[in-house]
C-alpha cells in the first residue's frame, strides 16, 4: 500500500483515492475497479450509479472501513487527510472521518436518553474532557439547526430528525471528512430536503462531504459528482452533465426531470438544477429539441392463471384510534373501482398507512367499514383477505426468510393452496415482471436492498391479487428500480386490477398514477387526477401536508400552463402545443 500526498505543492486532499480496487472474499469480480477520486475541504461531492455498481464499497473505503472492519482485498491507495485509510489501526482515522448510513435508527447508539447525550457518545470515546463536552455539543447543535432537539429522546424523533442527529454526532467529533451512504433513502421529502440543506451548510463551513445518493434533490446540490457503473468510475463532472443523456443515459439510467428539461432546452448543464433558469429559458425560447419517444419500461398488461373478477373496494366513514390514544383516521370514505391506479399522499402521521392496513384486515375499523363488492372485511382474517388484497410492505426484510428467491416468491401462492403447476407459472410471471428471473436460485439476502424490495413485490404479485397495495415502494430504489415498479403499477392497472400506493416520491406519483388522494390528520383533503391536484392553485393545499409539486409540475406552473404534465416530455409537448 503506498500513500501519496503532495506536501508543499497543494493542500492535502480531505480524501484521495488513487487506482483503488476492492474485491470481497468469495467474489469473482471486483466491487471497485481502479477508481480515482479527490475531495477537497469545503467540497460537496456526489456519487451515483445503479444498484450494485460499487457505491457502498466506495463509501466504506472512504470511511476507512476496508479492510479493517469489512474484510476485502484492497489495492491502490486511499488516504484521508494524508493518512492511510486502509490502516488496520482503529485509532488511525479516529476524529478525521465519519460515515453515516441509510437507516436512521441504526446510526444512533440506542442507549442514550437525549440528543445531547447521543452527541456526547463520540466525544466520550475520543476521551474529551467532560468540561469541554457541553460547549462543543451546543455549538454543533446550533450550527446544524437542531438545537430544538437537544433534550428529546433520539429514538422518538422522525427519520429526518434522526438522520440529522446522526450527522451531528459525527460532526461534533471534529471530523474533516463526512461520508454518507444514501442518507435520504428512507426519508420523506421534507426530511430529505433538511438533510440536503445540512450537507450544503457543512460544506460551506469547510467540511469535505462525500455523499452516495440517488435523490436528484441531493445530487443537484453537489459541486461535482462521479457515476459508477460495474465497479468503475465512468464519468465525473457537474451533476447536470453526469446525470444527463451524455453520461448516465449511455448506461440506461433515466435522467431526472430537471436535467432532461435543461437538455431539451439546450441549456448549460451547470444550470440543470436551477429551476428559475429553466423557466426563464423555456419561456423566452421554448423547447429547442423534441422530446422524442420516452424510454419507458413495460411489462405488458398483467395476465396470470386463476383470474377472478376484481371487486369494487368501498371505504365508508372509516375511523381508527390506536391504543395510545392517537386518532389516526377520522371518517374516511373512498371508492376504488377496478382498473384504477390511485396514490395516497400526505406527510408522516396523516393516516396513509393506517388506511392501507384496513384494506387487508391488519387493522379493524373502530367506526365505519371496509367492503369488497359489499362484503365487509370485519369478519375475515388477514390470511383469507390475502387472496384478494396483496399488500407489499415498506421493509422487505420483514418477510424474507426462504433460501432462494424462487421459494420466497412461491410462499404466498403455496399458502393459498394452489397446485404446483399454477404456483410455478405465477412465480415465473412475477419474477419476469420485476426483472429478477435471472436470480431465482439466489438467496434473497445476497441481493441488495433495492432488489430485495423487488423480491417482496414479486412475492405478492405471485398471489395474483385483485387489489395491489404498495407501501412506499420506491424507497431505497435506484432510478431503474423505480421505473420497474412503475411498469408493474401500469401493467396491473391495464389488466383491470386496482393499485393503491402510498409514497412520498412525487415524481413517481405523477408519472404512474391516474388518481391522487391527499390526506392530512386522518382525513382526505383532496381527491382527483394528478393533472388537477398537483397544479399551481393547489400548492398551498399540498404544502399543508408537507408536500411540494413534482419538478415538471413546478416548472409548468411557473410557465403558466393550466394542466400539469406527468413528466418532462409531457411538459415539452404541452409547451409545443401552446406555441
Partner 1 sequence: MSATSGYFVVGTSWLHHRHPLTKLLGLGFVLLATFLLPSITLVLLVIALAGIAASAGLAARLARAMRIPAVLLASILVVNAFFYPGATDRLLELGPLAVSREGLTFGTISAGRVLVAFIASVLFLFTTLADDLLEALVARGASHRIAFVILSAVQLVPRMQLRAASILDAQQARGLAIEGSFGRRIRALVPLIGPVLLGSLIDVRERTFALEARGFGARPGRTAYRQVVDPPSDRWLRPVLVLGCIAVIVAAVTGLGRG
- Within 10 angstroms of residue 284's Cβ, the number of other Cβ atoms is 8
Question: Please, are residues 169 and 121 in contact by the beta-carbon 8 Å criterion?
Answer: yes
Distance between first and last Cα of the chain: 62
**Among residues 52, 122, 287, 550, which is the contact residue for partner 1, using CB under 8 A?**
122
**Among residues 20, 332, 460, 572, which is the contact residue for partner 1, using CB under 8 A?**
460
CB of 132 to partner 1, least distance (A): 9
Asked if 103 touches partner 1 (CB under 8 A), the answer is yes
In terms of CB distance, is 412 or 551 closer to partner 1? 412
Stretch that binds partner 1, among 305-313, 323-331, 400-408, 420-428 (CB under 8 A): 400-408
**Among residues 83, 382, 558, 574, which is the contact residue for partner 1, using CB under 8 A?**
382
Asked if 419 touches partner 1 (CB under 8 A), the answer is no
CB of 103 to partner 1, least distance (A): 6
Asked if 445 touches partner 1 (CB under 8 A), the answer is yes
In terms of CB distance, is 154 or 481 closer to partner 1? 154
Q: Binding string to partner 1 for residues 149 to 188, with x set by CB under 8 A, is what? A: ----xxxx---------x--xx--x---------------
Question: Please, are residues 481 and 473 in contact by the beta-carbon 8 Å criterion?
Answer: no
CB of 41 to partner 1, least distance (A): 19
Length of the chain counted residue by residue: 579
Asked if 98 touches partner 1 (CB under 8 A), the answer is yes
CB of 554 to partner 1, least distance (A): 35
- Within 10 angstroms of residue 58's Cβ, the number of other Cβ atoms is 29
Helix (H) / strand (E) element for 329: namely strand 327-336
Asked if 129 touches partner 1 (CB under 8 A), the answer is yes
Question: Please, are residues 433 and 302 in contact by the beta-carbon 8 Å criterion?
Answer: yes
> What pairs with residue 209 in β-bridges?
44, 178
**Which runs of E-coded beta strand occur in 40-138?**
44-48, 73-80, 83-84, 97-100
In terms of CB distance, is 345 or 460 closer to partner 1? 460
Q: How many CA atoms lie within 13 A of 299 on its CB side?
A: 26
What's the rounded Cα separation, in Å, for the pair 119 and 105? Answer: 14
What's the rounded Cα separation, in Å, for the pair 28 and 25? Answer: 9
What's the rounded Cα separation, in Å, for the pair 449 and 508? Answer: 19
In terms of CB distance, is 13 or 100 closer to partner 1? 100
In terms of CB distance, is 158 or 544 closer to partner 1? 158
CB of 202 to partner 1, least distance (A): 16
Q: How many residues at the interface with partner 1, by CB under 8 A?
A: 67
In terms of CB distance, is 103 or 316 closer to partner 1? 103
Asked if 451 touches partner 1 (CB under 8 A), the answer is no
Asked if 111 touches partner 1 (CB under 8 A), the answer is yes
Asked if 455 touches partner 1 (CB under 8 A), the answer is no
Q: How many CA atoms lie within 13 A of 363 on its CB side?
A: 21
Q: Quick one: CA dihedral 304, 305, 309, 311, positive or negative? A: negative
Asked if 126 touches partner 1 (CB under 8 A), the answer is yes
Asked if 90 touches partner 1 (CB under 8 A), the answer is yes
Q: Quick one: CA dihedral 437, 440, 443, 445, positive or negative? A: positive
In terms of CB distance, is 125 or 562 closer to partner 1? 125
Among residues 100, 126, 345, which one has the least CA distance to residue 198?
Answer: 100
Q: What are the helix (H) ranges across 302-445?
A: 352-359, 382-385, 405-415, 420-433
Residues 6+ apart with CB under 8 A from 239: 46, 216, 219, 220, 222, 224, 225, 259, 272, 273
**Among residues 7, 28, 71, 130, which is the contact residue for partner 1, using CB under 8 A?**
130
Question: Please, are residues 76 and 18 in contact by the beta-carbon 8 Å criterion?
Answer: yes
**Among residues 270, 312, 362, 526, which is the contact residue for partner 1, using CB under 8 A?**
362
Asked if 416 touches partner 1 (CB under 8 A), the answer is yes
**Among residues 10, 69, 250, 563, which is the contact residue for partner 1, using CB under 8 A?**
69
| Contact footprint for partner 1 (CB under 8 A) | 63, 65, 69, 90-91, 94-95, 98-101, 103, 106-113, 117, 120-130, 133, 153-156, 166, 169-170, 173, 357, 360, 362, 381-383, 386-387, 390-391, 393, 395, 397-402, 411-412, 415-416, 445, 459-460, 463
Amino acid at each position: 500500500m503506498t500513500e501519496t500526498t503532495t506536501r508543499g505543492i497543494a493542500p492535502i486532499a480531505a480524501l484521495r483515492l488513487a487506482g483503488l480496487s476492492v474485491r470481497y472474499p468469495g467474489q469473482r469480480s471486483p466491487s471497485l475497479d481502479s477508481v480515482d477520486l479527490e475531495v477537497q475541504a469545503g467540497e460537496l461531492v456526489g456519487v451515483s450509479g445503479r444498484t450494485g455498481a460499487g457505491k457502498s464499497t466506495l463509501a466504506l473505503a472512504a470511511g476507512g472501513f476496508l479492510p479493517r472492519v469489512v474484510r476485502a482485498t484492497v489495492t491502490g491507495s486511499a488516504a484521508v487527510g494524508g493518512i492511510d485509510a486502509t490502516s488496520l489501526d482503529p485509532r488511525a482515522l479516529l476524529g478525521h472521518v465519519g460515515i453515516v448510513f441509510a437507516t436512521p435508527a441504526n446510526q444512533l447508539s440506542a442507549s442514550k436518553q437525549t440528543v445531547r447525550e447521543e452527541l456526547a457518545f463520540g466525544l466520550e470515546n475520543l476521551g474529551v474532557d467532560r468540561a469541554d463536552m457541553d460547549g462543543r455539543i451546543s455549538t454543533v447543535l446550533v450550527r446544524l439547526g437542531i438545537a430544538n432537539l437537544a433534550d428529546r429522546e433520539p429514538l422518538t424523533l422522525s427519520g429526518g430528525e434522526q438522520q440529522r442527529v446522526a450527522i451531528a454526532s459525527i460532526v461534533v467529533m471534529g471530523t474533516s471528512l463526512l461520508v454518507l451512504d444514501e442518507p435520504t433513502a428512507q426519508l420523506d421529502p421534507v426530511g430529505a430536503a433538511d438533510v440536503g440543506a445540512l450537507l450544503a451548510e457543512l460544506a460551506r463551513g469547510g467540511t469535505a462531504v462525500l455523499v452516495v445518493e440517488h435523490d436528484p434533490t441531493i445530487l443537484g446540490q453537489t459541486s461535482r459528482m462521479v457515476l459508477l457503473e460495474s465497479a468503475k468510475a465512468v464519468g465525473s463532472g457537474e451533476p447536470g452533465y453526469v446525470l444527463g443523456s451524455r453520461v448516465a443515459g449511455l448506461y440506461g439510467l433515466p435522467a431526472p426531470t430537471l436535467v432532461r428539461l435543461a437538455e431539451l432546452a439546450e441549456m448549460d448543464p451547470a444550470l440543470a438544477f436551477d429551476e428559475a433558469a429553466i423557466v426563464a429559458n423555456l419561456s423566452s425560447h421554448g423547447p429547442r429539441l423534441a422530446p422524442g419517444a420516452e424510454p419507458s419500461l413495460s411489462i405488458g398488461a398483467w395476465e396470470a392463471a386463476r383470474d377472478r373478477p376484481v371487486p369494487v373496494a368501498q371505504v365508508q366513514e372509516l375511523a381508527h384510534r390506536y391504543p395510545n390514544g392517537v386518532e389516526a383516521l377520522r371518517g374516511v370514505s373512498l371508492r376504488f373501482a377496478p382498473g384504477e391506479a390511485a396514490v395516497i399522499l400526505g406527510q408522516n402521521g396523516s393516516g396513509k398507512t393506517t388506511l392501507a392496513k384496513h384494506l387487508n384486515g391488519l387493522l379493524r375499523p373502530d367506526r365505519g367499514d371496509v367492503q369488497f363488492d359489499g362484503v365487509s372485511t370485519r369478519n375475515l382474517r388477514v390470511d383469507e383477505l390475502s387472496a384478494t388484497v396483496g399488500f407489499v410492505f415498506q421493509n422487505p426484510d420483514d418477510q424474507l426468510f426462504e433460501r432462494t428467491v424462487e421459494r420466497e416468491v412461491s410462499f404466498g401462492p403455496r399458502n393459498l393452496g394452489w397446485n404446483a403447476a399454477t404456483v410455478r407459472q405465477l412465480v415465473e410471471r412475477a419474477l419476469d415482471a420485476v426483472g429478477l428471473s435471472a436470480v431465482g436460485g439466489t438467496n434473497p439476502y445476497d441481493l441488495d436492498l433495492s432488489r430485495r424490495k423487488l423480491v417482496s413485490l414479486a412475492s405478492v404479485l405471485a398471489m395474483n391479487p385483485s387489489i395491489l397495495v404498495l407501501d412506499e415502494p420506491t424507497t431505497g430504489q435506484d432510478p431503474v428500480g423505480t421505473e420497474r415498479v412503475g411498469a408493474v403499477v401500469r401493467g396491473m392497472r391495464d389488466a383491470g386490477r386496482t393499485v393503491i400506493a402510498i409514497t412520498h416520491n412525487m415524481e413517481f406519483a405523477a408519472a404512474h398514477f391516474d388518481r391522487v388522494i391527499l390526506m392530512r390528520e386522518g382525513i382526505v383533503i383532496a381527491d382527483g387526477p394528478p393533472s388537477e391536484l398537483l397544479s399551481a392553485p393547489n400548492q398551498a393545499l399540498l404544502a399543508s401536508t408537507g408536500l411540494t409539486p413534482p419538478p415538471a409540475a413546478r416548472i409548468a406552473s411557473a410557465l403558466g400552463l393550466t394542466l400539469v404534465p406527468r413528466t418532462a416530455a409531457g411538459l415539452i409537448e404541452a409547451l409545443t402545443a401552446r406555441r
